[in-house]
């Protein structure tokens, strides 16, 4: 199986457990690994034989910007489920990070890493 990786999708969103996270928002970063068969595109050189990843990026940005979940785990799963709706994708790995989590004396970032498979392929 082949893989397309999209990294560094950065967007501002309103998911978080604390009320101020849902009110004020914060930055999120998303990295994706998308498993699909790229051999048809490798033969044809036609975009219709692959995944137009501009649509995938737009889907992620829209979800992050408009969702108001309490947990980043829920947002990561919502992203995965939306990506699996694209025809050619058989599996997706979503790495969702909060680079500035509002935790006192913590300068690192929180990352949720999930992998989901398309049950219909």
Q: List residues with catalytic annotation.
A: 98
26: left (phi over 0), alpha (psi -120 to 50) or beta: beta
Element (H, E) at 93: strand 91-98
Q: How far apart are CA 62 and CA 90, in angstroms?
A: 22
Three-class secondary structure of residue 7 per DSSP: strand
Angle at 6 (CA atoms; ends 102, 64), nearest 5 degrees: 40
């Amino acid at each position: 199986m082949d893989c397309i990786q999209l990294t560094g999708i950065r967007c501002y969103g309103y998911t978080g457990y604390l009320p101020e996270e849902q009110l004020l928002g914060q930055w999120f970063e998303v990295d994706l690994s998308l498993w699909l068969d790229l051999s048809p595109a490798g033969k044809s050189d036609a975009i219709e034989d692959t995944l137009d990843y501009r649509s995938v990026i737009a889907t992620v940005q829209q979800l992050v910007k408009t969702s108001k979940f309490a947990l980043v785990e829920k947002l990561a799963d919502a992203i995965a489920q939306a990506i699996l709706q694209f025809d050619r994708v058989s599996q997706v790995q979503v790495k969702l990070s909060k680079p500035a989590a509002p935790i006192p004396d913590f300068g690192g970032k929180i990352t949720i890493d999930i992998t989901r498979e398309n049950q219909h392929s």
